[in-house]
């Protein structure tokens, strides 16, 4: 059989064979041609081609994730000695911190979507690259289109941290010096003889006697097919916070959103805001990526540590205290952060006494009011002291020609939120006292009489409340949230407050009982008669259905949905199936039948199911679980089922907003 024609050019041979344009057998530690001539083999060139259409290698998924466990850090001192100053272009492509670093927010984080330059050989790595590697389980989070690639095996990683010509000296080539023409030709071959769609990594020659990596270098001819991701998780979480978290957390979003304006202006110079944002973003990703729970917990702890430093007058500290308190239940659904609330309230007093910025004062005050309202219904909150309230939105704008700008957290519901806070404080204490009484005494009677007096005062405040009309509300320009939605939320909260008072203090409903008529709800008349237990229950059921109807008029896409879970829970204990009320009972010619109840329950169920996807937080699951337990108790024909009692019994208390 005739011999094949000799191949006179070597694509991946050692530098000497490539320069002389002769075939190289590419053996290590020295090729046969250099060994036969008794010359020191200069090693092999690191040839890489980063083809955009083929950056992700399909076969990478077939290699075991055990390679990641084998990664060992590179001695940074040695890398510093071997390599020159870090290429200035490198900082534009990757961060120098680990994915979980404690670097300050003022450091610029590179975008993980940046493409790496084509010639990796030009880099002199002065820092270990393993600090950029993430765990394999995070790969699905960042998406294939935004992952630059580097070899994952330890030998390839070690080779990447060395300069390609570190073993090549002119002394090695003295016996057969290369001409200038040969060197130019070798450079041309290096550029043109690159595989178009594959990534081939070959390591420079390693001295087996002096280099401890010599044994691993024997595998250098094996192509590297496994890659890891270079990502900057802190930058990704910060970007996710501004793109997604703020819009989920606010009742409207836009360039004028105070939360967006304040965080954007201060987070890069504020450690507390930086760690708080990281914690909030990671918490929103926990359901899809459970590994993020550890990130959210750790960043939250770092944020709490930052609260201990600085001055109480600092705005970033104030904002961080509010966000950390509001989002404590994001990390742990049962964490109500009472201590955070008390400390933040002291900070608010200190800060408010030194500021004249009414817009900032309104924003921070409104955030505290909303926080206090959510706490008041599920915990015993001490608000008897001089509770500072600056966020009051009056019944109308200060001037007939002026518009009210909605608050980022509570819209135009500042006044009604404050009334509901007092309602929640009263009801929680009352139900707690009732559950602790075995035998009545005179002191208990005095307490209940005092509670009823307070309840009447709150009823009068609710009945006197006049919500804004849409034309008096400034349109923030959010296509998902219109001024009419704020009016609907005000009305729903208004009715929810009355529903809670009439359910817990039935004497108030007895004093105004008339057959159900939504048009006279806020204009009570003297009682027509003393209602029976069933009549009272029917009246409250109709009020609950009316609240459901109001919420149904608000599109699901409206960002006011972040305020609706509390109302859905409060109304759920009024959605009794007909078996729980007198069959055949008629009032005003309207029958409350099974179909109407089923439709109302289906609406609540569908909204909560959608919220579980829109708000990827574990506490939403707890809220839905509470509603399910309420309906189960009602379907078992338990009498006087109240959501707060079920919440306490099942230990499902959380901030419902």
Q: What separation in angstroms does the CA of 31 have from each of 44, 169, 622?
A: 10, 17, 67
- Among 118-122, 218-222, 346-350, 561-565, the range with the most confident prediction by mean pLDDT is 561-565
- The per-residue pLDDT for 359 is 84
Residues sharing a CB contact under 8 Å with residue 189, sequence separation 6 or more, in sequence order: 9, 11, 18, 21
Which residues are CB-neighbours of 575 under 8 A, at least 6 positions away? 541, 544, 545, 548, 597, 600, 601, 604, 631, 634
Average pLDDT score over residue span 114-137: 35
What's the rounded mean pLDDT across residues 74-91? 39
Q: Which residue(s) pair with 228 in the sheet?
A: 150
Question: Looking at residue 652, what is its pLDDT?
Answer: 92
Confidence of residue 26 (pLDDT cuts 50, 70, 90): confident
Per the model's pLDDT, the better-predicted residue between 385 and 437 turns out to be 437
Lowest mean pLDDT among 10-19, 528-537, 621-630: 10-19
Every domain of the chain and the residues it spans: 15-231, 234-391, 409-657
Higher pLDDT, residue 220 or 8: 8
Is the pLDDT score of 137 beyond 80?
no
What is the pLDDT averaged over residues 98-126?
35
- Distance linking the first and last C-alpha atoms of the chain: 83
For residue 496, the number of C-alpha atoms closer than 13 Å in the C-beta half-sphere is: 32
Please give the angle made by the CA atoms of 241, 247 and 249, to the nearest 5 degrees: 85
Among 51-65, 537-551, 593-607, the range of highest mean pLDDT: 537-551
pLDDT at 11: 67
Give the 3-state secondary structure of residue 229.
Answer: strand
**Burial degree of 648 (CB within 10 A; 0-12, 13-18, 19+):** middle
> Cβ distance 545 to 234 under 8 Å?
no
pLDDT higher than 60, residue 631: yes
Of 175-184, 225-234, 271-280, 589-598, least confident by mean pLDDT is 175-184
Answer yes or no: is pLDDT of 345 > 80: yes
Structure confidence at residue 86 as a pLDDT band (50, 70, 90): very low
Q: What is the per-residue pLDDT for 33?
A: 86
Cα Dmax for the chain? 118
Dihedral angle computed from the Cα positions of residues 396, 397, 403 and 404, in that order, rounded to the nearest 10 degrees: -80
Lowest mean pLDDT among 53-62, 145-154, 362-371, 487-496: 145-154
Q: Is the pLDDT of residue 132 over 90?
A: no
Per-residue confidence at 282, pLDDT binned at 50, 70, 90? very high
Q: What is the 3-state secondary structure (H, E, C) of 434-499?
A: HHHCCCCCHHHHHHHHHHHHHHHHHHHHHHHCCCCCHHHECCCCCCCCCHHHHHHHHHHHHHHHHH
Under 8 Å between Cβ of 474 and 487: no
Structure confidence at residue 45 (pLDDT): 67
**What is residue 436's predicted lDDT score, i.e. its pLDDT?**
86
């Amino acid at each position: 059989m005739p011999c094949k024609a000799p191949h006179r050019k070597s694509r991946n041979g050692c530098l000497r064979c490539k320069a002389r344009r002769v075939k190289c057998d590419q053996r290590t530690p020295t090729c046969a041609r250099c060994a036969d001539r008794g010359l020191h083999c200069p090693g092999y060139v690191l040839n890489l081609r980063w083809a955009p259409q083929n950056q992700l290698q399909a076969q990478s998924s077939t290699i075991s994730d055990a390679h990641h466990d084998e990664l060992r850090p590179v001695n940074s001192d040695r890398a510093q000695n071997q390599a020159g100053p870090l290429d200035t272009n490198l900082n534009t492509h990757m961060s120098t911190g680990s994915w979980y670093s404690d670097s300050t927010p003022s450091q610029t984080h590179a975008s993980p979507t940046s493409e790496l330059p084509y010639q990796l050989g030009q880099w002199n790595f002065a820092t270990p690259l393993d600090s950029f590697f993430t765990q394999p389980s995070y790969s699905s989070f960042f998406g294939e289109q935004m992952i630059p690639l580097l070899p994952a095996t330890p030998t390839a990683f070690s080779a990447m941290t060395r300069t390609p010509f570190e073993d090549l000296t002119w002394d090695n080539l003295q016996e057969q010096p290369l001409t200038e023409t040969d060197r130019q030709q070798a450079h041309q071959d290096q550029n043109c003889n690159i595989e178009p769609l594959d990534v081939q990594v070959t390591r420079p020659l390693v001295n087996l006697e002096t280099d401890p990596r010599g044994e691993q270098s024997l595998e250098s001819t094996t192509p590297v097919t496994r890659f890891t991701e270079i990502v900057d998780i802190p930058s990704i979480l910060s970007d996710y916070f501004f793109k997604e978290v703020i819009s989920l957390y606010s009742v409207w979003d836009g360039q004028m959103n105070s939360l967006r304006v304040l965080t954007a202006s201060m987070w890069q110079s504020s450690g507390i805001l930086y760690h708080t944002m990281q914690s909030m973003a990671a918490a929103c990703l926990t359901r899809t990526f459970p590994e993020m729970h550890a990130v959210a917990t750790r960043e939250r702890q770092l944020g709490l540590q930052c609260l201990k430093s600085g001055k109480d007058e600092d705005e970033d500290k104030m904002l961080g205290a509010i966000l950390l308190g509001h989002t404590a239940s994001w990390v742990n659904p049962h964490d109500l952060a009472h201590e955070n609330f008390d400390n933040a309230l002291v900070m608010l007093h200190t800060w408010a006494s030194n500021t004249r910025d009414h817009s900032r004062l309104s924003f921070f005050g409104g955030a505290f009011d909303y926080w206090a309202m959510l706490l008041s219904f599920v915990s015993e909150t001490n608000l008897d002291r001089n509770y500072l309230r600056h966020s009051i939105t009056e019944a109308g704008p200060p001037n007939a020609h002026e518009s009210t700008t909605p608050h980022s957290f509570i819209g135009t519901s500042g006044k009604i939120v404050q009334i509901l806070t007092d309602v929640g404080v009263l009801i929680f204490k009352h139900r707690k006292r009732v559950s602790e009484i075995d035998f009545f005494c005179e002191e208990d009677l005095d307490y209940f009489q005092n509670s009823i007096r307070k309840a009447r005062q709150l009823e009068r405040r609710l009945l006197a409340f006049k919500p804004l009309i849409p034309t008096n509300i400034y349109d923030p320009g959010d296509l998902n949230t219109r001024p009419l939605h704020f009016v609907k939320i005000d009305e729903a909260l208004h009715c929810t407050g009355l529903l809670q008072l009439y359910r817990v203090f039935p004497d108030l409903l007895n004093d105004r009982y008339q057959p159900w008529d939504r048009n006279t709800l806020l204009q009570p008349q003297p009682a027509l008669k003393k209602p029976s237990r069933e009549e009272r229950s029917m009246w409250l059921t109709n009020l609950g259905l009316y609240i459901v109807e109001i919420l149904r008029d608000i599109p699901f896409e409206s960002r006011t949905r972040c305020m609706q879970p509390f109302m859905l829970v409060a109304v759920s204990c009024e959605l009794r199936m007909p078996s729980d009320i007198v069959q055949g009972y008629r009032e005003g010619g309207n029958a409350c039948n099974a179909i109407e109840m089923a439709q109302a329950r289906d609406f609540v169920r569908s909204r909560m199911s959608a919220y579980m996807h829109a708000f990827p937080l574990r506490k939403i699951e707890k809220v839905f679980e509470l509603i399910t337990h309420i309906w189960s108790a009602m379907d078992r024909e338990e009498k006087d089922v109240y959501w707060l009692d079920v919440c306490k019994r099942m230990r499902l208390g959380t901030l419902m907003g």
